[in-house]
Amino acid sequence: MTVVVGLSGGIGTGKSSVARLFAEAGAVVIDADAIVHELQAPGTSLLAEIAEAFGPEVLRADGSLDRERLGSIVFRDPEARRRLGAIVHPKVGAEMLRRLEAARAAGARLVVLDIPLLFEGRKAGTGSAALLGFDASVLAYAPEALQIERQIARDRCSRDEALRRIRAQLPIEEKRALADHVIDNSGALADTARQVRDLVTLLLGD
């Protein structure tokens, strides 16, 4: 039997670090963001749809997606985010499902579906999460104040811009209430790793 977990977080909560720790603990991690990057490569039909919807200015001179320019559009406009999601999520969800079935067929005991907007999608009944079933949801958590600090340090953006991007998603405390399990990633990495190992043991019944 394969245990399937949906993992999410928020900007600056360290979800990628938590996903890596799950992989180190033996889980198969299927990363929605990585799939998005693959499907949006130059010359793909998905990239052509995005350019048609948002204009050729979201493409760089080499034909690749200008993610910063697209992000500046969708983080400021809920309708633009909805439109982008309607283009991207069905294709990403279908590819995640294909990889999940392949992992099951290979006998994986634990599969982690790394989906940035998992809780937003579940609440709305849309997005990649709507196409995928899982046994438990896990949130990589850090309080909003720390999310802001981390984003400013990582992206060298203003506090206002960091807050705007964070609040374009569900509040982290609302996600925490929706999650079956919470990994508190606001402290030392060693503590986060211990939490992940303990959760893997719980999920697999070992």
State the pLDDT at residue 120.
82
Question: Which of 10, 6, 7 is closest to 170 using CA atoms?
Answer: 10
The full set of domains in the chain, from first to last, is: 3-204 (3.40.50.300)
State the pLDDT at residue 129.
55
Q: What is the per-residue pLDDT across 37-89, written as a single tens digit (0 to 9) for each?
A: 999 999 999 999 999 999 999 999 999 999 989 988 988 888 998 899 899 98
State the pLDDT at residue 189.
95
Q: What is the per-residue pLDDT across 114-133, written as a single tens digit (0 to 9) for each?
A: 998 888 876 655 555 555 67
DSSP secondary structure of 53-109: HH-GGGB-TTS-B-HHHHHHHHTT-HHHHHHHHHHHHHHHHHHHHHHHHHHHHTT-S
Would the pTM of this model clear 0.85, i.e. be above it?
Answer: yes
